[in-house]
Chain A
Amino acid sequence: MDTDLGYWIIPLAIIGGAIRVSTPFLFVSLGEALTERSGRINLGLEGTLVFGAMSGYAVAYLTGSPWLGVLAAALCGALFGLVHGVICSLPRVNDIAIGIAMMILGMGLAFYFGKPFVQPVAPDLPAISFGWWSDIPQVRAALEVNVLFLIGAGLAVLLWWMLRATRVGLTLRVVGDSTDAARAMGLRPALIRTCATAVGGAFAGVGGAYLSLYYPGSWNEGISSGQGLMAVALVIFARWNPLACFGAALLFGGAGALGPVLQSVGVSEGYYLFFAAPYVLTLGVLIATSSPKRAMTGAPGELSITK
């Protein structure tokens, strides 16, 4: 069987890469979308992601079950979100400053507790192969889809439905759009925002577990390349819509796969430039969606950056 696909390998690998690389983006951006829809920004998700990666890897190694690792990562993430939420509920506290502090705290704690787990090997999360119909190994490799990706996709649809047609979802949108209206309805905005931040943190933790337990699949200090921060830009790009978050995560994942792909087909010069594709994309997206003249449509009204 001829497995030399020539330059066809580029789109194929981008699709594969999009599926593989996008999962952390997807989870973090869904978490951030949920938090921002409640009217707060959590910039600390980068730290939550790294701590989730560490705690997930550690628990998976100690118990032998990757799923327990994911659960631990989610719990740790929720705890980080809860701390952020509670601190931001105090008067005169700025959510962005707390977010940055939480980011640095999360990474610091992860490196501190994670030292003993750099060497050991933890079990990987299972993947489902959708490439069984093909004989070409590259196609098979590209269509190796991790269960967490599928869960994330389902979650995007679920969140979209929740925001539209459930009491919880509508309450969240009310709180995010107008504190006054929420108070007049007898809701407690600070409590709801704290809960939303905690759930958002749990999502980011799961995104971290994916990094250490599937792709790249090991724990080290350089495990995250800023996915947690880029997810914030991604949420703006996706206009706070969970379904659009899914699309945007795929796009960013695909861009992230560009560098390695070019390297693998033998482009020896300049591929470093393509490693930067996601960052360039982030900048491009932020510039393209900015406008000095009109207010952002779809932005939750209570968000501190859009006020």
Chain B
Amino acid sequence: MTMQFGGFTALDDCSIRIAPGSFHALLGENGAGKSTLVKCMMGFYRATSGEMLVDGREARISDPKAAHALGLGMVYQHFTLVPSLTVAENLVISREDAPSVIDWRAEGADLQTFMDGMPFQVPLDQPVRALAAGEKQKLEILKQLYLGRRFLILDEPTSVLTPDEADEVLSHMRALCQKGAISVLMITHKFREVTAYADAVSVLRRGKLVGGGKVAELGHGDMAALMMGDAQLAQPAPRSGTRGVEVLELNDIKAQDRTGLKGIRIDKLRVHAGEIVGVAGISGNGQMELMEILSGQRPCQSGQIRVKGSPYSATRREAHRHNIRFLPEEPLHNACAPRMSVSDNIAFRSFDTDGGVWLSGRRMRSRATRLVDQFKVKTTSIDAPISALSGGNVQRAVLARELSGDVDLLIISNPCFGLDFSAVSEIRTRIMQARNAGAAVLILSEDLDEIMELTDRVLVMSEGTITYDAQTAEADIATIGRHMGGHL
């Protein structure tokens, strides 16, 4: 299969064969063409050339409906469930032949019978909004099975799950494969999942199939070499310096969460100069609210925040005095004015303090030029709107703004979400440099690997409170995973 978008070849003459009842993994970096391949298979894109055989017969797939008719189903990375509908309503409405008047008693009984035959259960009468991420992922898979699909494409199915939940879901999928009920093609970039659950693997790099084979015959090293090619990755800067004085201090903080139904309670949180403290957790357990409390977007009901010993109420003036810098998640939306230029966005931290009433356009521009250069931000010009930049470059530009000058406290949320390998390692290096220069760093991340790599101390946030606190060097992944999932 080949897929070209204009002059760009996203997928270059790839051939993959998946045996019935097998669990096949598709490995590759961001932008390697994995999504393009499965989208061609599902009929979202029409491949420029190439063909697909289903059960040895040629299949012409012009739209997703045709793929569904052949029993092909896809579980997306982002949930496609409707939050306000109940589990039962979601299942029934997803059916092609949903009746025009729904007899809930009969449908309920049918669904219960179906659920009883499945290896895992999801409560039928709950609205999807109330389900945990793991349950939603299970429901996505159940939905495909309920619709009678027998070839499932899973797009990074475990990215939102705890290690325990991921293991549970994947082992059930594997069991179903072994029974011969379904075949699975799983997109992933976690080697552990490939070795533990997949039978065979195909590796894509820059749109080309670069290798693959039986998982039993390949090691982690082989797969990594195939996936990364000969690209050199920057190693995280080595740690240096010692832990200094206490910079950030949170005492008995109470606040409401986003839904207003649950509370956020943080009894004690300390970050010292020269250390990185990581907060791990599954999304939706209060990390976003914690970030909002620290950045002044969410009022506290009680409790106190202190920075360097003095009370802190998250005003711009205080942040400036204490050299507090923020790197929120999705920086384009949370830390930039998307339609303003790169140079204006870089000036946000300093425009109101250097100079008097009038802004100095020349100073702003020269500063932007210097920082763009120094942080290797790829942009056509510093006058381009920042929304025209790629995700990695927006993150670099924001990092350039936040890390210039003295930094005493750096508060970060999911800094590498959705970025490719080279951007990720560069951004992590910058964070480590800030730490080594004596900044106190608090990082909230859903990526446990990132936390384990960067931090000196790890905390786990679950159900709005901090449930675990340990030195990273002594922390045990399995214990952290259990705390993330709330199973103590």
A-side interface residues toward B, CB under 8 Å? 165-168, 170-171, 173-174, 177-178, 180-181, 184-186, 291, 293-295, 297-298, 300-301
Return the contact of A173 from the options B76, B82, B260, B261 (Cβ within 8 A): B82
Q: Residues of A contacting B84 with CB < 8 Å? A: 173, 177, 298, 300-301
Q: Given the interface contacts A165-B102, A294-B259, A295-B258, does A174 sit within 8 Å of B85 by beta carbon?
A: yes
Least Cβ–Cβ distance between B227 and chain A, in angstroms: 28
- Give 27 A-B contacts (CB < 8 Å), ordered by A residue: A165-B101, A165-B103, A166-B101, A167-B93, A167-B99, A167-B101, A167-B102, A170-B93, A170-B102, A173-B82, A173-B85, A174-B82, A174-B85, A174-B93, A177-B83, A177-B85, A180-B78, A180-B80, A181-B80, A185-B93, A186-B63, A186-B68, A293-B260, A293-B299, A295-B259, A295-B260, A301-B83
Q: Are B82 and A178 in contact (CB under 8 A)?
A: yes
Q: Residues of B contacting A300 with CB < 8 Å? A: 84
The verdict on B357 contacting chain A, using a C-beta distance below 8 Å, is no
Q: Given the interface contacts A165-B104, A178-B83, does A185 sit within 8 Å of B299 by beta carbon?
A: no
Bound CA span A170–B107, Å:
14
Query: Interface size for chain B: under 10, 10 to 19, 20 to 34, or 35 or more residues?
Result: 20 to 34
- Known pairs A181-B79, A181-B82, A294-B258; list 6 more (Cβ under 8 Å): A180-B78, A186-B63, A186-B64, A291-B260, A293-B298, A295-B259
Q: Residues of A contacting B93 with CB < 8 Å? A: 167, 170-171, 174, 185
B-side interface residues toward A, CB under 8 Å? 63-65, 68, 76, 78-85, 89, 92-94, 98-104, 256, 258-261, 298-299
Closest 3 A-B residue pairs measured CB to CB? Answer: A294-B260, A184-B80, A170-B93
Bound CA span A185–B81, Å:
10
Least Cβ–Cβ distance between B299 and chain A, in angstroms: 7
Q: Residues of A contacting B92 with CB < 8 Å? A: 170
Least Cβ–Cβ distance between A30 and chain B, in angstroms: 19
> Which chain A residue lies CB-closest to B93?
A170
Residue among B65, B68, B84 having the largest count of chain A Cβ atoms under 10 Å: B84
Least Cβ–Cβ distance between A184 and chain B, in angstroms: 4
Q: Residues of B contacting A174 with CB < 8 Å? A: 82, 85, 93
Q: Are A181 and B100 in contact (CB under 8 A)?
A: no
Q: Are B89 and A170 in contact (CB under 8 A)?
A: yes
Q: Residues of B contacting A171 with CB < 8 Å? A: 93
Least Cβ–Cβ distance between A297 and chain B, in angstroms: 8
Q: Are A170 and B100 in contact (CB under 8 A)?
A: no
> Which chain A residue lies CB-closest to B299?
A293
Bound CA span A88–B467, Å:
48
> Which chain A residue lies CB-closest to B63?
A186
Bound CA span A186–B95, Å:
11
Bound CA span A184–B81, Å:
9
Q: Given the interface contacts A167-B101, A184-B76, does A293 sit within 8 Å of B256 by beta carbon?
A: yes
Bound CA span A166–B84, Å:
16
Least Cβ–Cβ distance between B479 and chain A, in angstroms: 33
Q: Residues of B contacting A297 with CB < 8 Å? A: 259
Q: Residues of A contacting B104 with CB < 8 Å? A: 165
Bound CA span A184–B84, Å:
17
Q: Are A177 and B82 in contact (CB under 8 A)?
A: yes
Q: Residues of B contacting A181 with CB < 8 Å? A: 79-82
Q: Residues of A contacting B101 with CB < 8 Å? A: 165-167
Q: Given the interface contacts A177-B82, A177-B83, A178-B82, does A170 sit within 8 Å of B98 by beta carbon?
A: yes
Q: Residues of B contacting A167 with CB < 8 Å? A: 93, 98-102
Bound CA span A170–B260, Å:
27
Bound CA span A300–B83, Å:
10
Bound CA span A300–B101, Å:
22
Q: Residues of B contacting A166 with CB < 8 Å? A: 100-102
Q: Residues of A contacting B298 with CB < 8 Å? A: 293
> Which chain A residue lies CB-closest to B101?
A166
Bound CA span A180–B77, Å:
12
> Which chain A residue lies CB-closest to B80?
A184
Q: Residues of B contacting A298 with CB < 8 Å? A: 84
Residue among B65, B101, B256, B299 having the largest count of chain A Cβ atoms under 10 Å: B101
Bound CA span A294–B264, Å:
13
Least Cβ–Cβ distance between B93 and chain A, in angstroms: 4
